[in-house]
């Protein structure tokens, strides 16, 4: 075989392999972007930011009409248990509002989202950096074949054989650690209220932009100030109130507010079984919070 023939054969085989791999990934369509995702149930595997970014393009608007936007503190709020809406939880572990807006904008670009629950919590506006991957539309191309996609398949196989839990379920709900624990160093730094809660200006602008976009699209917003244990709240109440007031400056008369730091929810905050570390909720606490949110939404 001549060098030219060998090169042509090698290139040809490489192209065929690439086409075959891409075709297989389109057929499997783990993120619901290549074929009709209506009625499918797609949990998340691989990098959670990439997964929710891609799922939010077609899968989320095809199957859901409401979103929860938050960070890990709202990650285990089971969206499936809120009546009257098909709700998807866009929350990310360690997520900030810049990441959340980048991801949720994909779903909000459709006309199918009818409600947004938007958390008001210092962690969301403490930074604007992407924690793992700075997601962009190139992720669509990489869904045809990439290291992240390979990692997602590995996670899917491990979950299938019960070696590891999936990153999040088909409604976006995250499974968080259950046992009592202290605040991790990042959360402890964010929640240090000695000098008030730090607000990153880029993150604040992203929050304001998101609220303005939702108002322009006439999508109702339910602002939720998440639960915090009574012990943590005792030394941070005034700072948290000042923070919430600043974040809620653009709240309109038609928006709703559920404030878990108000006197109404003191019994919830005093119940240690609701919290794992004072900020993150246990499975029981998350269920109780969703029950309260559900009751509020359905009392209107």
Residue 268 lies in a domain: yes
Residue 208 lies in a domain: yes
Neighbours of 205 (CB within 10 A): 14
Q: What is the pLDDT of residue 20?
A: 46
| Boundaries of domain holding 238 | 59-136+165-297
Residue 7 lies in a domain: no
Q: What is the pLDDT of residue 190?
A: 77
CA dist 174 and 76 (Å) reads: 5
Residue 200 lies in a domain: yes
Residue ranges in the chain whose pLDDT is less than 50: 16-21
Strands 115-119 and 87-89: unpaired
Q: What is the pLDDT of residue 28?
A: 61
Residue 205 lies in a domain: yes
Give me 23's structure tokens.
């075709």
Q: What is the pLDDT of residue 5?
A: 59
Give me 260's structure tokens.
């878990």
CB 73 within 8 A of CB 65: no
Give me 265's structure tokens.
């929810």
Q: What is the pLDDT of residue 243?
A: 93
Looking at residue 19, the DSSP 8-state letter turns out to be H
Residue 150 lies in a domain: no
Kindly provide the residue ranges of all beta strands, DSSP E only, lying in 157-282, ordered along the sequence: 221-225, 256-259
Q: Which of 185, 20, 40, 214 is nearest to 115 (CA)?
A: 214
- Provide the domain count of the chain: 1
Residue 280 lies in a domain: yes
Residue 60 phi, psi dihedral angles, 5° rounding: -65, -55
Give me 132's structure tokens.
């793992």
Q: What is the pLDDT of residue 8?
A: 54
Q: What is the pLDDT of residue 6?
A: 52
Q: What is the pLDDT of residue 17?
A: 45
Residue 43 lies in a domain: no
Q: What is the CATH classification number for the domain harbouring 111? A: 3.40.50.1110
Q: Which of 61, 104, 68, 137 is nearest to 206 (CA)?
A: 104
Looking at residue 273, the DSSP 8-state letter turns out to be G
CA dist 95 and 110 (Å) reads: 23
Q: What is the pLDDT of residue 1?
A: 67
Q: What is the pLDDT of residue 79?
A: 82
Residue 255, C-beta contacts closer than 8 angstroms, at least 6 positions apart: 220, 221, 222, 223
């Amino acid at each position: 075989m001549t060098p030219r023939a060998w090169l042509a054969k090698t290139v040809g085989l490489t192209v065929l392999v690439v086409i075959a791999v891409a075709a297989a990934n389109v057929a499997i369509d783990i993120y619901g972007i290549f074929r009709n995702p209506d009625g499918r149930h797609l949990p998340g595997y691989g990098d959670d930011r990439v997964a929710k970014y891609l799922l939010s393009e077609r899968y989320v608007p095809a199957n859901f009409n409401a979103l929860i936007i938050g960070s890990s503190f709202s990650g285990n709020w089971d969206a499936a248990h809120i009546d009257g809406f098909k709700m998807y939880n866009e929350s990310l572990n360690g997520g900030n509002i810049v990441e959340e807006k980048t991801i949720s904008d994909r779903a909000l670009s459709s006309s199918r989202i009818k409600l947004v629950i938007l958390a008001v919590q210092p962690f969301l506006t403490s930074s604007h950096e992407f924690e793992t991957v700075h997601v962009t539309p190139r992720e669509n191309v990489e869904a045809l074949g990439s290291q992240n996609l390979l990692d997602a398949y590995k996670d899917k196989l491990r979950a299938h054989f019960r070696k590891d839990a999936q990153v999040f379920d088909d409604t976006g709900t995250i499974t968080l650690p259950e046992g009592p624990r202290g605040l991790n160093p990042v959360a402890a730094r964010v929640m240090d209220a000695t000098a008030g809660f730090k607000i990153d200006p880029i993150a604040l602008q992203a929050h304001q932009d998101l609220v303005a976009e939702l108002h322009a699209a006439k999508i109702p917003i339910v602002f939720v100030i998440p639960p915090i244990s009574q012990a943590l709240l005792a030394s941070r109440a005034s700072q948290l109130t000042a923070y919430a007031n600043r974040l809620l400056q653009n709240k309109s008369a038609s928006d709703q507010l559920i404030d878990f730091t108000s006197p109404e929810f003191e019994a919830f905050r005093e119940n240690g079984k609701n919290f794992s570390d004072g900020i993150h909720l246990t499975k029981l606490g998350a269920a109780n919070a969703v029950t309260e949110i559900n009751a509020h939404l359905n009392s209107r």
